Amino acid sequence: MYSLMIVDDEYMILRGMSKIVDWEALDVKIVKEERSPLEALAYLKEHPVDILISDMNMDELEGTKFLPMVKKLQPDIQIIVLSGYNDFEYAKISLEQGVIDYLNKPVDPDELEEVIEKTKGIIDRAKRRKENSQMAKSMRIKDVLNGRNSIGELDVDNHQYYVIAALNADQDLADILPSQEHIIGTYTSNHDVYIIFASDETELRLFANKMRKKEITALISETVSEDEIASVAALLEKYLTWFHFYGPSKQVTSLHDFSYTKKPLDVAKMSNDLDFEDMPVATFRQKITKDLECLRRHCNAIEDAKYYARLVLMAIYGTNQLVDANITDAVAKIEHTPSCSKVADLLTDFYTNYRKNEQIYPEPINSVVKIIKHRYQESLTLIQVAGELHLSPVYLGALFKKNTQVSFAQYLNAHRISKSIELMRTTDKDINDIALDCGYQNANYFFRVFKKQTKMAPSEYKRMIKKH
């Protein structure tokens, strides 16, 4: 709705204006009715208003003095004046002060409605022009941050700048930015705000303190030259992605302090410290959350957290040969997870499956599962197993997939890979020997299947878990 303030020192006029038309039907809300123009000015200092209806002839402060003061406080406000005098001079002065219309008392309701509709149109057009202008400037700032344009094209007389990146801060900064004279421009991307700030350290500290009061997560660069703006902006964007994943710090930090004060942790050692035997799900979740929080505190890369998650998944998979849990799907979800908390959720869900009792299948599927678990080292095929059970391979294959949601070959490969993970964690056997022990006569085929399921080469996994 459009906000409206009415100022008139005559009580009956003020009271009557609120009832003369259906303001709600006009999409207008009266936010303030005031008899004192001085009190009205005090209100306007703190509250934006779209439309002002004001008397011109008031004892405390003449309209000819009041209106310029209003315009100084709120240049975009639209003013409609009232007067009991049919005085051309009042009308002339009003128009000189940017008043859009002049109404004689007593006010005609139809005429008032007509003027209000006209005023709303003026406000809408002005708002669109302002938005278009702001958008155009924002696009120019984007081009400067991306290195496609020089900041000199913005007619800025400066040689040193700060670049600021604020996480999810478009709403929080809305009431701060307009008052900052040293801000050259801003660009907003998915609620993150990038700011180019002229190099005035005192003003920058004041602006940073305002962000701190709102608990905004922000990074501020050191002073940079025109040629350095794009590279610093790219670095800030990378770190905002980090905050999106690990979570906001609610702190305003210098880019230097954030980048160089922490030593990343070794994720392989962290995953090796997990002991799954008899660990309750709640304890597992606490451990995972604690480890991920440690990675955040030590500024480990997002890739480290996802790598840690993959190692944990594989450890769970290898410990219990959890064929019913789709590790390929779980790894894929980890890779596409946008936040640290979601990683913890996925790991907890996977571990919850691990803690469940072994799936019991109906016959003949239960017999097939037992054959796979006891004879996975052999060159098993669906035709061979179906023959042993005196069933049609087509019938058995369809029935097996209906009950397990995977094919016979997929189930067999999943069990073999889980066994290979267990052997790599618990023995010093060569990878080629492990492949043979798990039923793979062709080591290259084993490598392909292992990497497809885990997104990691067997040699890479073994190297990581044996590092410590």
Residue 286 to residue 62: CA distance in whole angstroms: 69
* 458 upstream amide cis, omega within 30 of 0: no
- Confidence tier at 41 by pLDDT (50, 70, 90): very high
Region 179-207: mean pLDDT is: 88
In this prediction, residue 335 carries a pLDDT of 86
Residue 71 to residue 262: CA distance in whole angstroms: 52
**Domain spanning 2-125, CATH architecture:** 3-Layer(aba) Sandwich (3.40)
Residue 107 to residue 116: CA distance in whole angstroms: 13
Q: Which CATH class is domain 365-466?
A: mainly alpha
Tens digits of residue pLDDT in 250-282: 899 998 887 655 677 878 777 766 776 678 889
In this prediction, residue 230 carries a pLDDT of 93
In this prediction, residue 262 carries a pLDDT of 62
Per the structure block, which two tokens stand in for 119?
Answer: 């005023």
On the question of pLDDT at 468 being above 50, the answer is no
Region 237-258: mean pLDDT is: 90
Tens digits of residue pLDDT in 302-329: 999 998 998 888 878 766 555 445 677 7
- Burial of 425 per CB tally in 10 Å (0-12, 13-18, 19+): middle
Q: What's the CATH code, domain 154-257? A: 3.30.70
On the question of pLDDT at 91 being above 70, the answer is no
In this prediction, residue 93 carries a pLDDT of 59
In this prediction, residue 176 carries a pLDDT of 85
In this prediction, residue 80 carries a pLDDT of 92
On the question of pLDDT at 150 being above 90, the answer is no
Tens digits of residue pLDDT in 154-192: 766 677 899 999 999 988 898 888 778 888 889 999 999
Range scoring the smallest mean pLDDT among 92-96, 107-111, 305-309, 363-367: 92-96
**Which are the contacts of 214, defined by CB distance < 8 A and separation ≥ 6?**
172, 173, 176
In this prediction, residue 151 carries a pLDDT of 80
- What is the overall mean pLDDT for the chain? 86
Percentage above 70 pLDDT, the chain: 89
Tens digits of residue pLDDT in 380-418: 999 999 999 999 999 999 999 999 888 999 999 988 998
In this prediction, residue 184 carries a pLDDT of 87
Percentage above 90 pLDDT, the chain: 50
In this prediction, residue 455 carries a pLDDT of 80
Residue 39 to residue 65: CA distance in whole angstroms: 14
Region 208-235: mean pLDDT is: 93
